[in-house]
Structure 1
Amino acid sequence: MVSDTRLQIHAGWLDSVKRSECEHFDCRPDPNDISLLVIHNISLPPGEFGGPYILDFFAGKLQPHIHPMFEQIYQMRVSAHLLIRRDGQIVQFVGFENRAWHAGVSSFQGRTRCNDFSIGIELEGTDNTEYSAQQYAALVRATHAIVAQYPLINLSRIVGHNDIAPGRKTDPGVSFDWGRYRQQIGFFYNS
């Protein structure tokens, strides 16, 4: 569960959150160009919450025999910087200074390869399942810490996966309340 204290970032890692370091990352071309925050959703198996499978997936340890869908994805090498569970627990997989592999083929304002300059946050959920109040609270806390550390990210540079990969991705989906989220983080910006 997430407490009410402010999160801090030290050497690219949030303090006071669970770490589940993975090998699915590499160096950013320019570590001074962290300028985009991308919000995703994930559930494994699809529509099921709370199990170990997201952590297994990002660690490259997903077992294909557990679920038919896993047979299609178990060899993929993907990751995100953060996962926010339904109960608000934050798990960090990759330090922000490094490039996580979350965006895939993507473009933002004419720039391709969004992984090069973005931070990826996965919300445990689906496009059509309402996110929990604990997830919004944790997301707001993580956003504040990220923006304080990486000021090139402003309100207009926080997007959904669907925004950078239209037609290919739909997350975080219609269930994500952008108005609620932006209202909760809006006071933090001078935009």
Structure 2
Amino acid sequence: MPATFSIDPASGVCREAQWCPSPHCNARPAADDISLLVIHNISLPPRQFATGCVQQFFAGKLEAERHPYFAEIAALRVSAHFFIERNGQLTQFVSCNERAWHAGQSCFAGREACNDYSIGIELEGCDDVPYAPAQYAALVALTAAIQQAYPAISNARITGHEHIAPGRKTDPGAAFDWQGYRSALSQGEAP
């Protein structure tokens, strides 16, 4: 994993990420209104890591018969901009300049429809399993690249899915080290 990431503001693509395009995206209502970063978690099947199934899911290619849980979710049309695996590997599914479908019904600081103006990062994990150091290192580096490309995303405008959809979502969960992450952002290093 590179020590730093870079995002081309014109294309919205991270040069160092593996590209796995998702059809589950569309144009933002206002192309220049990117002002929120939302952190999530996901694992497929639940609580299983390094399966490659998250990439298939966001790309719309999840095989429903592969696991009983997949039959419930295979038809869902969701995506995120980025996915950080346990080893820090970064995959991008949607240009940051487009609207990924990660937040659903949501509200931040009184403003609804967070997908319209946010970038979504999924961490491979679940609410109650500690995230790996390589993930935090990648997350801090990616956050720095996002903030450089989209300066309206200040540290105060970074949140969790659980905070913009309380009662409906619980991620990134109690296992996520918000204090360490925010401290690392202010110091420019991984927690």
Length-normalised TM-score, structure 1: 0.96
Cα deviation 1:65-94 (Å, max 9, x = unaligned): 111111110000000000000000000000
Following the alignment from structure 2 to structure 1, what is the Cα–Cα distance between the partners of residues 64 and 58?
A: 14
CA contact (8 A) 2:2 2:16 kept: no
- Which residue matches 1:26? 26
Three-state SS of the structure 1 residue aligned to 2:185 is helix
2: distance between equivalents of 1:130 and 1:117? 29
* Corresponding residue for residue 7 of structure 1: 5
Q: Indicate the SS of the match to 1:65.
A: helix
Structure 1 residue 25: Cα displacement: 0.3
Using the TM superposition, give the Cα deviation of residue 53 of structure 1 relative to its aligned residue in structure 2, in angstroms. 0.7
Map Cα deviations across residues 13-63 of structure 1 (whole Å, 9 max, x no partner). Answer: 001111101111000001111000000000000000001110111111111
5+ long unaligned stretches in structure 1: none
Q: Does 1:44 align with 2:37?
A: no
1:186: which partner in 2? 186
Worse overlay, 174-183 or 62-71: 62-71
Q: Which amino acid aligns with 1:150?
A: Y
For 1:27 and 1:3, the matched residues in 2 are separated by 30
Specify the alignment match of 2:173 in structure 1: 173
Does 1:102 find its partner at 2:102?
A: yes
Distance 2:112 2:64 in 1: 32
**Correspondences of 1:103-182 after superposition (within 5 Å):** 103-182=103-182
TM-score (norm 2): 0.96
Give the fraction of aligned pairs with identical amino acids, expressed as a percent.
Answer: 52
Preserved contact between residue 84 and residue 135 of structure 2 (Cα < 8 Å): yes
Q: What is the identity, as a one-letter code, of the residue corresponding to 2:32? A: N
Runs (5+) with no aligned partner, structure 2: none
Secondary structure of 2:76's partner?
coil
Q: Which of structure 1's runs of 4+ aligned residues deviate more than 3 A?
A: none
